Amino acid sequence: MFKTMLASTEELRPLVEIVVDGRSVQAREGEMLAAALLNAGVVPFRHTAISGQPRAPLCLMGVCFDCLVEVDGVQNTQSCMIEVHAGMTVRLQDGARRVGDVK
Ligand code: FES
């Protein structure tokens, strides 16, 4: 579905390791997290709180909120609006936000 645009080697940012639900994934530093997760085959990103329906990024521009994940302990982070950094820890969300885990 998605294809990486070709870029010269000077334009490519370094590969870094991130952890997604305990699995090590390589991504380009500074690329949008949603793109990195899709590129790694991570789908769905979450399940809704009411019906449990699977969700994945739709707009990729911060409007739909279907790309929510937990990033470095912060729940409900829009993955299409945050850049990858080395050591980032991502948890896919299942249902409602955990009460008491406010960050
Ligand atoms: S994909 Fe729509 S808000 Fe992130």
Whether ligand 1 lies within 6 angstroms of the CB of 59 is answered as: yes
| Gap between the Cα atoms of 9 and 67, Å rounded | 29
**Which tokens belong to 92?**
């896919």
Amino acid in position 28: R
Q: Which ligand 1 atom minimizes the distance to the CA of 68?
A: 4
Across the range 14-42, mean pLDDT stands at 96
% of the chain at pLDDT higher than 90: 77
Which of 45, 65, 71, 93 to mutate to test ligand 1, by most ligand atoms within 8 A of the CB atom?
65
CA distances in angstroms from 93 to 3, 55, 76, listed in the order given:
25, 10, 8
| Integer Rg of the chain from CA | 14
Whole-angstrom distance, CA of residue 103 vs CA of residue 91: 15
Full-model pTM: 0.86
**Predicted local confidence at residue 7, as pLDDT:** 72
Phi, psi for residue 38 in degrees, rounded to 5: -65, -40
34 against 5, higher pLDDT: 34
Residue 79 Cα to ligand 1 midpoint, Å, equals 7
Which atom of ligand 1 is the closest one to the Cα of 58? 1
β partners of residue 15: 28
Mean pLDDT of 75-91: 97
